[in-house]
Structure 1
Amino acid sequence: MIDLLLIHGTVVTMDRNRRMIQDGAVAINGSRILDVDTSEKLIEKYEAKEIIDCSHHCILPGLIDVHGHGGHSMFKTIAMENLDFWMPIMTNTYKHFVTDDFWYYEGKLSALDRLKAGITTGVSVLGSMPRSDDPIFAINHAKAYAETGVREVVCTGPCNPPWPHLFSRWIDGKRITRDVTYEEVLNGAEAVIEALNHANEDRTRAFITPFVIVTSVEPSGPTSPAKLRKLTGHDLYQAKKIREIARKYNTRIHSDAFGGMIHLAVRDWENALLGPDVHLQHCRGISFDEAKVLAETGTNVSASPGFSQIHARTPIIELLELGTTVAISTDGTSPSTSFDMFQAMRKTQFIHQAAHRDEYCLPPGKLLEMVTIDAAKCIGWDDELGSLEIGKKADVITVNLQQPHLTPEFMHIHRLVYQATANDVEHVIVDGKIVMKGRNACSVDERKVLAEANEEAFSTIKRAGLEKYMQQTKYFWGHTRSYADGTNYNEEDWTSIVAKGDNQ
């Protein structure tokens, strides 16, 4: 007798042949997919301890979000009235005003949010810039995901110079601030990888994650070619150390990259943070020469849709045509994005169709690949995840089609990509275990998770003095454009954070 049988659904396998099976079924035993075929054949072939009737549902692989941020779920929309200073405001908060417990409660909220969106594997970079001065932050976050039942790739590593950095830790309600050296954050990242990589029955993995692949240029956007001189000593040293850690623990490298960084990074022939074991998020504003480097080196790329793509686009179409593996990520969930990967697919399509002035770019099938099998390839887990195939891990979701916006039930891929939302996910199975059934989480008390997250968020906001970044400007209502002169904080506040940074 097998453990679980899903029957009478439209199975979207995402296998090599992209098979779709009408009135299909998936047989699961233990943590693996045992069989995928028609309902008639599998009902006759197997007896199961539990059977789920998936009539009027699509059955498909769990969605994979290859880039998001641990911590962000507590700070949705804060500081949105002036996005120019959002990064320093949030970085300062993560460095100095979050407790150890914050990472656990935020992890519970983040994991639950992803679970209910049909995301069975989520990548979490700790903070806005990764924080690794102590492994407890990542360990607490991973514990929360493990308890919720969602796979997590925990990503942490060094942020940018200068070094040493001031970081704060809260012990018994008291803030303790100290200088942390670059070597200490590397040691902290190693401790995270040693503790978490392949932990939780391999539902948890840990990647080494420097903030960006080249530290001496613009960290959050493209750098002008006129400013691309050479790699600094720290750039070379960081690449060498990151490579050493990745080899030591046989893990992968995840980082951000923007235009100009790849042009410089490839000059470091020995240790460049490029290649099949590397996954780069954003890649906005890269040149065609840089796109060719990514393709030639087999570097994996992910990109999330947003307004910043208007200023400097990720050349997704060009990268795909060059043979690069590209995944769609949410980059969720702060300041204004969600973990809804159905929305992410549609936004990605719209942005790049508009950029190319071609409404035939990125057809629905390709978009679905980019959040399933291609996403699994991006993080080096496609041997077990990303498709419904015999022997693979049983990470499966169902989408309820018996709703007005998803009816009539034909052209199922189109229906999923163009009309579905996260709230349409009905059942979620991870590693063969049912973790959401009928939209109810099975492994955690949802109300408790939300209550604890609310309490921790408000206490952190108060501790960090973020209330002033939650106020509406006088231009909020009745105006077509917002300005910062109507807020309760001013330019001096922001420039103080930017200038003092770690001294806050």
Structure 2
Amino acid sequence: MAPTVLAGGTVVTVDADRRVLDPGAVLVADDTIVAVGPRDDIVADNPDADRIDLDDHVLLPGLVDSHGHAGHSLTKGLVDGRGDDWLDLVKRIYFHGSGTDFWAAESRLAALERLRAGVTTSLSYVGSMPRADDPKFAAAAATGYREFGLRHVVAVGPPDGLPVEATDPDTGTETTIDLDRAMATTEAVVDDLDGAAGGRIRVAVAPSSLVPEMDDDGQATDASVEQIRAVADLAEREGLPIHAHAYVGEVAAAADVDADILSERLSLAHCAGISSEEVALMAENGVAASTGPLTHAYAWDRFPVTEAMEQGVTVAVSTDGSAPDRSFDLLSQGRIAAQLQRSYHGDTSLLPAGRVLESMTVDAAAALGMADEVGSLAAGTRADVIAVDRRSAKLGPDLGADGAVPRVVNYADGGDVSFVMADGVVRLRDGEVVAPDAPGLETILDDAADAAQTALDRVDADDALDPHPDLWGSVRYGEGEEGTE
């Protein structure tokens, strides 16, 4: 194949020198970026290359969503997305109502949404916490990412609350998931998926919680110690990243069990409520954090984002998935993350636009152990490139390259992404999806609706779609009950 020149427009490289080129261009050969530089130079040096004109666009590295959940795209909005009610319902759906058709249909819808939002690399747990009774569910959950040609990390490992009961509606089989079963399933998923689709599909050893149980003194229980050691052993043996949710006390408790688990191999989601001492442990050991500004975890307890950054922790902004009340639009969540920090500290100088963009590109790639591959536009990295159309009322007027980064970070969202190249293949052009191996939109939507309804029927939860009596006119859900107390 002839090389391709992506001719900008402004090119925001997020490379080591943080170059912003206007006009700039990106030269791609096969699945790799060969050169990034001034447009006239790149074009003149490559007269035989194919050319894609993106003159009215801002070119960026493909966005990296470092934490999310498979299953969300078929469970968003259920029970109005009400916190614990939603979590209880989706646990029933994921562990008892979801067959392989559910996970395949969900993955196609999720991958399509991420593609359209400019997310070319992502991570998702198979469920709200990993479904680890059979490796076929993880394989099905990777389907859409394979078909749309995106880079994806399948996160699987022990769920919380072991032992956990699961039902396979495909066969009627009922399984009790204990630690041995969860780890065996995780190993099978590694064998099946890690490195699949030309290396685009990866696997992370991903327990639901870093330390699932602690005693009254904040120490890991014996069961948690066993899990921590099993997870660390598998990740070390297979050379895999570790990903987990973590909340107050868990970083310190894990360090007491096995200090070596705190390493650059580990990334932690939420980190809500963790102490300054735990932030210091993360910084000292290269542990990355992934914060979702719209997550319920952040509403319950704050992760000290700016303080962690100042101490040297790699902090990525992520979506946490597309449910119960959010989306895969990572661009829009970046500025929400910044505004939350500014509001908390009463300081509007916090988190410059470039730092926010780093948290969704190069820093998020580093959190997943992929900083040498994705997250920046530089020679030798994978050809994951997106382009934001700046010819709109929202992003106008165009006042030159100096304002490109603040303009994109402060105003753009996924709907402004009109071009996506993933692994050197154009997947979105002029706003139209280019994915011959994937079903069309109508088929994806119809299959998703059928799979979601089937799952609800299996767990007898048709009322999950009923409007809540406090939907209108109330300040909070449950206001009627509280008013009688």
TM-score range, shorter chain: over 0.9
Aligned-residue offset at 1:297: 1.2
CA-based RMSD = 1.6
CA distance in 2, matches of 1:216, 1:29: 49
The answer to whether the 8 A contact 2:8-2:58 is kept is no
1:296 to 263, 284, 303: 284
Distance 1:472 1:263, change over 3 A: same
Alignment of 1:139-218 (within 5 A): 139-163=139-163, 165-171=164-170, 175-217=172-214
* Separation of aligned partners in 2, 1:400 and 1:231: 50
What amino acid is aligned across from residue 18 of structure 2 in structure 1?
R
| Secondary structure of 1:266's aligned partner | helix
Which residue is equivalent to 2:109?
109
What is residue 429 of structure 1 aligned with on the other side? 421
Aligned partners of 2:204, 2:42: CA distance in 1, in Å? 39
CA–CA distance in 2 between the matches of 1:25 and 1:242?
Answer: 43
Written as runs of structure 1 = structure 2, the 5 A alignment for 1:4-15 is: 4-15=4-15
Contact 1:473 1:485 in 2 (8 A): no
Residue type of the alignment partner of 2:471: F
Q: How much does 1:82 deviate? A: 3.5
Runs of at least 4 residues off by over 4 Å:
none
Between the two proteins, what is the percent identity of the paired residues? Answer: 32
Contact 1:372–1:386 under 8 Å retained in 2? yes
Name the CA shift for 1:23/1:321 in 2 (closer, same or farther; >3 Å): same
| TM-score, normalised relative to structure 2 | 0.94
Residue in structure 1 matching 2:456, options 438, 458, 461 = 461
| Counterpart in the other structure of 2:410 | 418
Structure 2 SS opposite 1:178: strand
Q: Distance in 2 between matches of 1:228 and 1:334?
A: 34
1:206 aligned partner, one-letter code:
V
Matched, 1:276 2:276: no
> Does the CA-based 8 Å contact 1:105-1:456 persist in structure 2?
yes
1:459 shift after superposition: 1.9
CA contact (8 A) 1:303 1:327 kept: yes
Match of 1:502 in 2: none
Which amino acid counterpart does residue 480 of structure 1 have in structure 2?
Answer: V
2:274 to 273, 286, 292: 286
Q: Which residue of 2 aligns with 1:258?
A: 247
Equivalences for residues 231-380 of structure 1 within 5 A: 231-269=220-258, 273-306=261-294, 308-380=297-369
Q: 1:471 aligns with which of 466, 472, 480?
A: 466
Aligned residue pair count = 474
Letter in 2 for 1:291: V
Question: The residue matched to 1:216 in structure 2 has which SS?
Answer: coil
Q: Rate the CA distance shift 1:143–1:81 in 2: closer, same or farther, 3 A.
A: closer
Is 2:117–2:328's contact at 8 Å kept on the other side of the alignment? yes
Partner deviation per Cα, 1:271-329 (whole Å, 9 max, x = no partner): 5x321100100001001011111111111111000254243111111111111111000
Alignment of structure 1 residues 73-152 onto 2, 5 Å: 73-80=73-80, 82-152=82-152
C-alpha distance in structure 2 between counterparts of 1:8 and 1:375, whole Å:
24
Alpha-carbon offset, residue 214 of structure 1: 0.7
Deviation digits for residues 369-403 of structure 1 (CA, Å, limit 9, x no counterpart): 00001011110001111110011110000000001
Aligned in 2, Cα 1:310/1:71: closer, same or farther, shift over 3 Å?
Answer: closer
**Which residue of structure 1 aligns with residue 33 of structure 2?**
33
Question: 1:312 and 1:152, CA in 2 relative to 1: closer, same or farther beyond 3 A?
Answer: same
| 1:55-86 deviation per Cα after TM superposition (whole angstroms, max 9, x unaligned) | 11001100000001011110111123632322
Which SS does the other structure have where 1:360 is aligned?
A: coil
Residue 313 of structure 1 aligns to which amino acid in structure 2? R
AA aligned opposite 2:433: A
- Displacement of 1:270 after TM fit? 5.2
Q: Over residues 142-167 of structure 1, what are the superposed CA-to-partner deviations in whole Å (9 max), with x where a residue is unaligned?
A: 2321111111000001112342x211
Once residues 252 and 115 of structure 1 are traced to their aligned partners in structure 2, the CA distance between those partners, rounded to angstroms, is: 24
Aligned equivalents of 2:98 and 2:479: distance in 1?
27
Distance of 1:167 and 1:481 partners within structure 2: 34
Give the AA of the match of 1:463. R
Deviations 1:155-196 (A, max 9, x none): 001112342x2110022xx63323233211110011101111
Q: Distance in 1 between matches of 2:471 and 2:258?
A: 51
Alignment partner of 1:199: what SS?
coil
The whole-number CA distance in structure 1 between the counterparts of 2:359 and 2:76 is 25
Deviations 1:432-469 (A, max 9, x none): 00011111111132222222212212222222222212
Which deviates more, 88-97 or 438-447? 438-447
Supply the distance in 1 between the matched residues of 2:376 and 2:284 (Cα, whole angstroms). Answer: 26
**Structure 2: distance between partners of 1:106 and 1:309:** 25
> Hey, what does 1:19 align to over in structure 2?
19
Cα distance in 2 for partners of 1:4, 1:355 equals 46
> What is the rounded CA distance, in whole Å, between the counterparts of 1:90 and 1:457 in structure 2?
11
Change (3 A) 1:151 1:81: closer
- Distance change (3 Å), C-alpha of 1:352 and 1:2: same
CA drift of 1:92 comes to: 1.6
Tell me the amino acid that sits aligned with residue 399 of structure 1: V
Shift of 1:227: 3.2
Asked if structure 2 preserves the Cα contact closer than 8 Å seen for 1:236 and 1:268, the reply is: yes
From 437, 440, 453, the equivalent of 2:432 is 440
